[in-house]
Amino acid sequence: MLTLLRLLQDGCFHSGQDLGNALGVSRSAVWKQLQRLESEMGVSIHKVRGRGYQLAKPIALLEAGGILLPGGWSLHLRETVDSTNAEAMRLLMGGQSLPLVVLSERQTAGRGRRGRNWLSPFAENIYYSLALRIESSARRLEGLSLVVGLATLQALRALGLWDAGLKWPNDIQVRGKKIAGILLELTGDPADVCHVVIGIGINVNMIDAGEIDQPWTSMQLELNRLVDRNELVSELNRRLFDYLSLHADQGFSVFQEEWEANHIWQGRDVGLIAGSHQVRGQVLGVDSQGGLRLCVNGEERIFSGGELSLRGFDDC
């Protein structure tokens, strides 16, 4: 079906006969593939008698040849997976060399933090996982998700999205609307040798999503143009390589000032939900390990998990 989509992604009308000739199949086989694209992938297609078939909105498929990788990294590009983190973990357990990147056009069971679903429409966003081996130091895990957030933020800005900022611990927002999220999963012993899978979801060309239960936006909505996802992934790879290399060498403390400078909730009064408890205070920043520093009743307290809320004290 991806071959058929590549024929249609130019945005022009194509007759069933021309598509069949290009694919080496009958017109009825083309029709069945088009039906599958709509029913299974959610791709909308205009059908006009006498003109043929045209995508209802333009798409740009991921292409392995169009994605730049740092030396030693491998790319595993999929049409559909349950989640890229799960696929990366399977490849890791199967003995694939690391670091490895998994990309997919669609996820059927994408996940966010705290078990939330991550909406994953076909060929619109970035569903990305990077699997790494980490040896001999739990310090290399300190603040890791925050460093990944910084790298992702800088990749977005490199493509023109200057209004984006960080929300502790793992989100990127634009004017209070979520545009990207990060999910880290570990296996092994953090004090000895472990593996970490870094999952990154970015809303890129999605313009409609009725199933998301929180304010959201996408790069296309913010920039008013179709974003080249291959260019974005290439930039993300470059930024991750640079930031993760420095983090491995010097730890999170070297990023502390940069992270705080890009934290859009710096200095704000917030409610912090941690399990069944809620704490209210003012955001002071983060510590050298990535923990959130809050002023609570005049005293500084540090939290290493939870979820910030934009609600004011009267609404908490």
Q: Is 32 annotated among the ligand-binding residues?
A: no
DSSP secondary structure letters along 63-75? -GGG----TT-EE
Q: Is 39 exposed, middle or buried (0-12, 13-18, 19+ CB in 10 A)?
A: exposed
16-23 and 27-41 helices cross at what angle (nearest 10)?
90
Q: Would you give the DSSP letter of residue 291?
A: P
* Alpha carbon distance 92, 184 (integer Å): 15
Task: Please give the single-letter amino acid code of residue 269.
Answer: D
Q: Is 250 annotated among the ligand-binding residues?
A: no
Q: Is 137 annotated among the ligand-binding residues?
A: no
Give the helix/strand (H/E) hosting 233. helix 229-250
* Alpha carbon distance 41, 2 (integer Å): 11
Task: Please list, residue by residue across 164-202, b when 16 or more beta carbons sit within 10 angstroms of its beta carbon and e when fewer do.
Answer: bbbbbbbbbbbeeebbbbbbbbeeeeeeeebbbbbbbbb
- Catalytic member of 27, 113, 238, 301: 113
Q: Is 262 annotated among the ligand-binding residues?
A: no
Q: Is 47 annotated among the ligand-binding residues?
A: no
> Any catalytic annotation for residue 311?
yes
144-158 and 229-250 helices cross at what angle (nearest 10)?
140
Q: Is 51 annotated among the ligand-binding residues?
A: no
- Catalytic member of 106, 140, 167, 178: 178
Q: What token pair was written down for 80?
A: 């559909």
Say whether 173 sits in a helix, a strand or coil: strand
Q: Is 111 annotated among the ligand-binding residues?
A: yes
Q: Is 113 annotated among the ligand-binding residues?
A: yes
* Alpha carbon distance 143, 308 (integer Å): 17
> Any catalytic annotation for residue 157?
no
Show binding-site residues: 83-85, 107, 111-113, 178
| Catalytic residue IDs | 113, 178, 311
Show binding-site residues for biotin: 83-85, 107, 111-113, 178
